[in-house]
Structure 1
Amino acid sequence: MRLRTATLAALFTTTAAVPAYAGETASTDSSTDAAESAAETPAPAPAAKAFTTGVAKGRDLLDSAISASILDDHDLRQLSVSSIAGIMQNIPGIRSETSDIDGYSAITIRGLPLAAEGSKFLQLQEDGLPVLEFGDIQFAGIDQFLRADLSLSQVQAIRGGSASTFASNSPGGLINFISHTGETRGGALQVSSGVGHDLKRIDFAYGSPLGDGWRFHVGGFYRSGEGPRAIGYTGFSGGQIKANITKTFEGGYVRLYAKYLDDRQPNYGTVPVTIGGTNADPRIGFLPGYDIREEGYSSPLTATYAETDRNNNRTILDTRDGLAAQVKAVGLEAQFEVAGWTVTNRFRFSDTSGAYNDNAPFVTAPAPFFAQFGGPGARLSYAAGPQSGQAITDARLLALSVRIYADLESLDYAVNDLRASRVWEVGEGKLTATAGLYNSRQDIRMFWNFTSTLQDLAGGGINAPVNITTAGGVPVTDAGTLAYGFAVGLPFSIYHNRYDVGYDVLAPYGSVNYQIGKLAIGASVRWDKGNVQGQVFSPGFGDGRAPFVAFDVNGDGQVSLAERRVPVLPLSRPAAVDYDYDYLSYSAGVNYRFADSLSAFARYSRGGRATAENAIGTETLDPVSGRPANPEILVSVVKQAEAGVKYRKDGLSLFLTGFWASTDERNAQITADSSGQAFVQQIKRTYSAKGVEFEGEYRHGPFTLVAGATFTKAKIDKDVLDPAFSGRTPRHIPDFAFFLRPSAEFGKVTFGAAVNGTTESFSQDTNQLVQPGYVLVSPFVQYRPAEGFTLAVNAFNVFDKLAIVSLQAPTIPASGITNAQVMNGRTVTASLRYAF
């Protein structure tokens, strides 16, 4: 495939003006003098960073037979990004599709497939434990319940390797977000504001030793504002606070920690764009007056609509809740010595809930097209806003939208990981053995439905709903609602579901590692056993009764045309869920340290990933037995082989890894037909990918350069349901992706940039329409006018280029319109930080 790039400048910030970590103090010396002295002496050599995630024992990366990356406190200060998915774009091997928000992201690793949103093969952890057990719960991506702020100390990522045996449901890899714990005294207060857009944020953090082995840390943020895209209301609102207290003693420590998150943000999903040119070289543009880099699809006029709830009662939904997350978590971590064994236990309970709101255009066309829904002579008019009641008589563009609402009533999660390790002197080497037991309980209690509505595309936060009326004056729509369900194509009553299911996971695991001289050989194994029980309510299961009823949804005393087919839940006839699954994971590797500065490793791994609620939908669950009709859907297996070299000396570090990954996938993905219309496609495939990952760092005097790159060749090896896809390239997997972080520090001024780029990929698995690549350049400048104070200005997408995250159509449609998800346009932000 021909490689081409589109030059883009971007600064990966959505909610903060500058790096949210810039004020975190790693020592008691947070003065400007310390910062200035760095410009007068050679930069320190890249540190021998110890790695503790997904391994038995923390080791220097050059002594570990894994491919891993660490973003420490210094690295995080270099990133102009606050979203979780944005941070992950700076880790080799990670493909992170995001619109710069926490949620509605698709994240994968090493060319493994992106069938849907979420992170199916990649586990996200916070302080060593998963945020959720499953990464691709429908409408509940893990990053929706995770935030980055000044409390974040370090991000550790392991690709492949022992990730599959030291955590459940993580065959592709692990990314661990690690909090500060107050080892040194210091703190920071930072205020940020958008320049030219409404978004204000305050961050804070403070930690300190307390004496007698005690220490603590507390940090968090609060933000509010419309955000970088015009939506006409406060889209960002909320924040979090995290705190921990630690008691150390000889041979160990005990730590208590807590987290409270209550935050909402707009959902920057797909929006209409124009498309021309050829499939191999498409030209992407905007609808008249609708620059989607700066315009949202939501507005106050379309924010609320009538629907039915989880109990079939009338309700009013408010899409201004956007992607909402509420997390109340408490945890305990302890480590101590018992009879020569180092015992570590981590426990956390999270009371997790939230909401998902999306307003996705399904059909975009001139107004007369939609008048056909009302028959000959039908009329269109505005249903709200300053033009309410005004007739639409021209051919302005309107959009039939699918509103998706999910009430994430309970994603409560209790998890405990107990492990014990011991080192023996065996011959001339050391044998390290680890045994562990992992246990978790993940609840999935949620309800979601689809609603079809009609609106215009005015932009500027004033998009308005549109009504259709027959020639005889009979309303076809209710305040813009065309159907309480899915209005086009098949009867999508299956997308009106309620889940009340619990997942219990028990996983014993163990590892051995023998190191003798420069050679280290290790192996690990894990056996996951899951039990799933609960019930699902859906009209899609059916029992001979109609899945639709006539119901006065808006409560006006009449049953309109739209209200004659309202999907209802069979509350007295749930489908039972009751099944077990199990799978075995293993990994083995060898590392040889040729010298202090050079090592090489090789590893082979096999890991499993259990399917969550996707296994119990109307198209997969047998409501009689309570088990998925096809047992193959229960577990996906990922196999990986890798080999690499690692070099670190003076101011230079270089890491190069070659990899091969393979997986089977049983899933459903949203795709589109040749006209660009979306539909749900069932897939039963095997995939493979091979490639090379590179990560390096060079420091000389005041100059620093950090770089990473991934070359990937991915393939659909076999498609059981449609053999025509066999041999094709999976969608959204580019051949090449990279990042650069150059920076320089001179006295009171620091400047630099974060550069992220990707080459083109295919929009869909048909391998027709090419999705353009991009290069995002993210410049920043920081000025320290006085001790402890830092002024900073960042420019997101400084050249205001169009960065396509995803295209919906598989080929250029005849209409010349398709949906796209994009990065923000030019966004300038400023901040003032005081470190103490």
Structure 2
Amino acid sequence: MKRSIFLFTVAPFALLSPAMAHEPSTDADTQVESAATADAGAEARPGNTSQAEVFSTGVAKGRDRLDSATSTSSLRGADIQKIGARSVAEVLRNIPGIRVEASGGDVNNSFTIRGLPLASSGSKYLQLQEDGLPVLEYGDLFVGADVFLRPDFNLNAVETIRGGSASTFASNSPGGVINFMSKTGDVEGGAVQVSSGLDFDEKRLDFDYGSRISDTLRFHVGGFYRTGEGPRETGYTAYKGGQLKLNVTKEFDGGYIRLSGKYLDDRTPTYLSVPMSVSGTNADPNYKDIANFDVNSGSLLSPHVANIVTLDGNNNLARKDLRDGIHAIAKSVGLEAQFDVAGWTITEKFRYADLSGQMTQFQYGLTMPAAALATTFGGPGATLSYATGPNAGQAITDLASLNGNGLLSLAVLRDMELNSLDVMTNDIRATRQWNIGDGVLTTTVGFYKSTQAVDADWLFISGISDVRGDGQGALVDITRAGGIPMTQNGIVAYSGTPGSAAFRRKYDVEFDVTAPYGSLNYMIGKFAIGGSIRYDMGKAEGSLFGADLGGGRVGLMSYDINGDGVISLPERSTAFIPLDRPAPVNFDYEYLSYSAGINYRVAEPLAVFARYSRGGRGAADRVLFTPIVSATTGKLVDDRAGHDTVKQAEAGVKYRKNNLTLNLTGFWAKTQEINQQTVVRPDGSLVPQIIVRGYKAMGAEFEGSIRRGPFSLTAGATYTDAEIASDALNPGIEGNVPRHQPKLIFQATPQFENEMFTVGANFVGTTSSFAQDSNQLKMPGFTVVNAFLQFRPTERMQLSLNANNLFDVTGLTEVAQSTIPANGIVSVRAINGRTISTSLRFNF
């Protein structure tokens, strides 16, 4: 079926005659086919005396930002390289309005925008795109879209549209669209760069090259490869892999066709919650590192907690290696075309991405003094010994001084096999301008189609681990006073939770999205007025397998894991997937999105605008394995759970003149959401919780830049006043601020640049927020300083020095507990500490 779809899409363009129009001449202009909005805008006005800033993401044709009733931003690829951003999260934290929780490593981080809720992980209301099509159809699958996206020398620019009509020109993206746009070979030449960490282990090679093969044919190729331990101590090579991208563009007299391909095979670690000490009060807490664990540079990962044995998705014995981390494999092919027919500009985008891989993670759960944990699982008189590592078999006698902190943790060793997250996307649209009276009417009609596979196995087991962050952690065995082992090689249960088969799951579901859309825009004099509409029809079909669907001890059995002929206590709690008890998935949903805006060009350098929008986000994997979907029929128990709704209004002013740009926007949003979020029980264990809520948010967003000779400054800030407006399941938190939501986030980049060198700093900060929705325990605000220096001794050579988190600030993005616990230990996630790298680049 997938092959048929591909052939059906490609075939018409193989027959196109050479009588097609010429493609725009710059890499930025060639991306005018991106998705989000064609409302209330027009091309740069004739006779403009100031330089027009053409924004292409979200419009049918590239248009000047001062003529568009939208909030937009862009980052050039060269600027991203300059500040040393090595991940999607480090790029996005420099865009106003976007809140980034960047503590998971290079990938699988969380993002939201303008106070929209971030109840779980990923980016539910914010879509990440690559060259105008979504990386994943749903940004908050248990795998985030950034897992399959890497910024490198292929990147030409990142364009962002916030709020507005993002909901009408892209599905499942009412909050905004972030488009990572590739170079296309229009600018001839390339570069090669070697980089190395100075205070951490990472070696990296980047390269790219673009050129014309003939007057009408050009190409671009680029990629990277890296290896090393990374910014945190793991004790092994945690980063390994790279990416290769290629595109070829054929221009015609009236349009162009572009074929593109991408191969990504990259392994990165995941940094999950770690223990930290906290004292003081909930309103004024004092967070400190525990002994032998620096939250800035430490991790749970270790070569001594690597090989685990469990049952796979087909209940066969298998060995898993936690050192694989997040292993992402992406193989994609794309087609892009634009041509004119009878006065209409037709734009076609197609991509098929074969996405797979593995996610192995190690997460602390219940952390407590070693003696107390030994008693909890082994009773009075229980003894401890090392199960793995160089001290395997050695008794632990001085429990109070173990690793200097005296702590042990009940940890979850998680393995998620990503058998297939394949996604097919196709977006075709037609745009035409009509001269009506003294103005110009722009009409756009389009049709979007996508399929998203979710074929994955969740395989969790539980172990006992010591608590140290130097990459040398080990599993620990517990033995009862009578000599009965309670663990086996440090494993307390071959299930995610002792005595329960929860989270032993198999997903085999395909999501289908169909969405026609259209817009009308009329520009007359200084006014541009427009509106757009989209109708999304979603469908989910497939099967689920798992103990979560059956309750009780379904999915637990005795199994001789080590094959010694004896069933140990941990082997009595072996979780398996009940493959003979499938639960169907068979639901659909429909919703209407619309947006309308008006823009008034007060004067050449000044414009004001206003917009109101309503958008939606379709149900995906977060509703599976919950009572929201019937385990017997596969239907939604309540049709309202098929999609969430976001209503937004914004109004702003834009100014641009003589190297000075200022944008100020006020916004308001109302969201209705059904979701899952993770909360902590009193015993320290983490559990999912269904939420049925309404949210409100309002605030203001500033973005500006100024250049005076060699000096320049770009800056942004977003003030947000958000609250939980309603909660059907927990009315007691109504009126509270959503967890992790600060009042203010900000970024600024001052720099000095001349022909020989560039020096500057990138400031990114946030004010305090609440750890949980109960609004008790606070997380402190922080400001991160990233410094950069570039030296160009000759025209084609550049030496660079980058320092991320120069002052080694501790920045907490998550605290699992809602209040300070009695033992003063909380589970936190923190940003990376200071990392300094250097690079040598040659341009050719």
Provide the TM-score with structure 1 as the length reference.
0.93
- Native 8 Å contact 2:533 2:594 kept in 1: yes
Q: In the alignment, which of 195, 200, 209 is matched to residue 206 of structure 1?
A: 209
Q: Which moved more, 1:428-437 or 1:672-681?
A: 672-681
Task: Measure how far apart 1:147 and its partner are.
Answer: 0.2
Moved runs in structure 1, 4+ residues, more than 6 A?
A: none
Quote the Cα distance in structure 1 between the aligned partners of 2:452 and 2:760.
Answer: 43
What's the offset of the Cα at 1:493? 2.6
Distance 2:460 2:50 in 1: 51
> Structure 1 residues 618, 134: CA separation in 2 closer, same or farther (over 3 Å shift)?
same
Name the counterpart of 1:36.
none
Q: Residue 517 of structure 2 aligns with which residue?
A: 509
Partner of 2:781: 773
Write the letter of the residue equivalent to 1:485: S
Aligned to 1:324: 327
- Report deviation, 1:557: 2.6
Correspondence 1:413 to 2:423? yes
CA distance in 2 between partners of 1:47 and 1:622 (Å): 57
Are the aligned partners of 1:121 and 1:135 in contact in 2 as well (CA < 8 Å)?
Answer: yes
Distance of 1:334 and 1:589 partners within structure 2: 29
Q: CA deviation at 1:675?
A: 6.2
Q: Does 1:67 align with 2:75?
A: no
Match of 1:116 among 116, 120, 124: 120
Q: Using the TM superposition, name which of 414-423 and 74-83 deviates more.
A: 74-83
**Alignment match, 2:157:** 154
1:17 equivalent in structure 2? none
Q: Aligned partners of 2:50, 2:242: CA distance in 1, in Å?
A: 34
| Identity level (%) | 52
Task: State the Cα distance separating 1:545 from its structure 2 match.
Answer: 7.5
Q: By how many angstroms is 1:100 displaced?
A: 6.6
Q: Which is worse superposed, 773-782 or 332-341?
A: 773-782
One-letter amino acid of the structure 1 residue matched with residue 828 of structure 2 = A
CA displacement, residues 360-385 of structure 1 (integer Å, 9 cap, x when unaligned): 11111111112121223221100011
Query: What secondary structure does 1:310 align onto?
Result: coil
- 2-structure distance, mates of 1:677, 1:563: 21
Report whether the alignment pairs 1:483 with 2:493.
Answer: yes
Structure 2: how far apart are the matches of 1:630 and 1:469? 49
Q: CA deviation at 1:458?
A: 3.2
Shift of 1:673: 4.1
1:351 paired with 2:354, answer: yes
1:464 lines up with 2:474 in the alignment: yes
Who is 2:541 aligned against?
A: 533
1:566 to partner: Cα distance: 1.8
**1:538-549 maps to which residues of 2 (within 5 A)?**
538-542=546-550, 546-549=554-557
- CA offset digits 1:758-793 (Å, max 9, x no partner): 100111101011111111111111111222111111
For 2:438, which of 428, 431, 439 is the aligned residue? 428
Task: Please name the residue that 1:584 is paired with.
Answer: 592
Gap change, CA 1:587 and 1:530, over 3 Å in 2: same
Counterpart residue number, 2:234: 231
Alignment of 1:169-318 (within 5 A): 169-318=172-321
1:398 aligns with 2:408: yes
Partner of 1:37: none
The SS at the match of 1:834 is strand
2:746 partner SS = strand
The alpha-carbon deviation at position 641 of structure 1 amounts to 0.3
User: 1:703 corresponds to which residue?
Assistant: 711
Query: Structure 1 residues 268 and 735 mapped into 2: Cα distance closer, same or farther (>3 Å)?
Result: same
Q: Distance in 1 between matches of 2:626 and 2:485?
A: 33
Is 234-243 or 610-619 further displaced after alignment? 610-619
- Contact 1:465/1:479, CA 8 A, preserved across alignment: yes
After alignment, is 717-726 or 557-566 more displaced? 557-566
For this pair of structures, how many residues does the alignment match?
Answer: 792
The correspondence of residues 736-751 of structure 1 with structure 2, limited to 5 A, is 736-751=744-759
The gaps in structure 2 that reach 5 residues or longer are: 1-25, 29-48, 401-405
CA distance 1:630–1:391, shift in 2 (3 Å): farther
Post-superposition offset of 1:492: 4.8
Secondary structure, in 3 states, of the residue corresponding to 2:549?
Answer: coil
Which whole-Å CA distance do the structure 1 matches of 2:831 and 2:247 have between them? 35
Shift of 1:630: 3.0
Q: Specify the SS of the correspondent of 1:168.
A: coil
Distance in 1 (alpha carbons) for counterparts of 2:275 and 2:500: 23
1:494 & 1:674 partners in 2: Cα distance?
19
Shift of 1:443: 0.6
Distance in structure 1 (CA, Å) of the matches to 2:91 and 2:163: 19
Deviation at 1:77, TM superposition (A): 3.9
Residues 649-658 or 790-799, more deviating: 790-799
1:627-655 residue CA offsets vs partner (Å, 9 max, x unmatched) = 13233321000010000000000010001
Q: CA deviation at 1:450?
A: 2.2
Residues in 1 aligned to 2:51 and 2:569: alpha-carbon distance in whole angstroms: 68
**Would the alpha carbon gap of residues 447 and 378 (structure 1) be closer, same or farther in structure 2, given more than 3 Å must change?**
same
One-letter amino acid of the counterpart of residue 161, structure 2: I
Distance in 2 separating the partners of 1:146 and 1:556: 45
Q: Which amino acid aligns with 1:285?
A: K
Which residue type is aligned with residue 426 of structure 1? Answer: I
Q: Which of the numbers 135, 142, 155 marks the counterpart of 2:139?
A: 135
Deviates more, 1:409-418 or 1:626-635: 626-635
Question: What are the Cα deviations for residues 693-719 of structure 1, in whole angstroms up to 9, with x where unaligned?
Answer: 110000000001000000000000001
**Counterparts of 1:26 and 1:134, CA distance in 2:** 28
Per-residue CA shift, 1:544-585, capped at 9, x if unaligned?
873311112233332110111222211122111112111110
Return closer, same or farther for 1:549/1:174 CA change in 2, 3 Å cut-off.
same
SS in 2 for 1:683: strand
The CA deviation string for residues 259-307 of structure 1, in whole angstroms up to 9 with x for no partner, is 0000011101111111111111211111112112111111000011111
Match of 1:494 among 491, 502, 507: 502
How far 1:158 sits from its partner (Å)? Answer: 0.6
8 Å Cα contact 1:86/1:100 also seen in 2:
no
Distance 2:67 2:554 in 1: 63
SS at match of 1:85: helix
Select the residue among 681, 687, 693 that pairs with 2:689: 681
Q: Which residue of 2 aligns with 1:789?
A: 797
Residue deviations 1:485-522 (CA, integer Å, cap 9, x gap) = 2336xx65331110101111111000000000110000
Per the TM alignment, residue 102 of structure 1 is displaced from its structure 2 partner at its CA by 3.2
Instruction: Output the TM-score relative to the length of structure 2.
Output: 0.92
Note if 1:721 corresponds to 2:694: no
SS state at 1:622 partner: coil
Between 551-560 and 467-476, report the one with greater CA deviation. Answer: 551-560
Structure 1 alignment gaps of length 5 or more: 1-24, 28-44
**Counterpart contact for 1:799–1:826, Cα < 8 Å:** yes
Counterpart of 2:526 (choices 503, 518, 540) is 518
Aligned partners of 1:136 and 1:800: how far apart in 2? 30
Q: Which amino acid aligns with 2:216?
A: G
Shift in Å, 1:676: 4.9
Q: Are 2:606 and 1:598 equivalent residues in the alignment? A: yes
Aligned partners of 2:518 and 2:500: how far apart in 1?
Answer: 46
Q: Name the CA distance, whole Å, in 2 between partners of 1:747 and 1:254.
A: 37
For residues 47 and 757 of structure 1, what CA distance do their matches in structure 2 show? Answer: 31
Q: Distance in 2 between matches of 1:227 and 1:571?
A: 39
Deviation of the 1:820 alpha carbon: 1.1
- Residue type of the alignment partner of 2:488: D
Aligned-partner Cα distance in 2 for 1:702–1:819: 46
The alpha carbon displacement at 1:72 in A equals 2.0
* C-alpha deviation, 1:464, in angstroms: 0.6
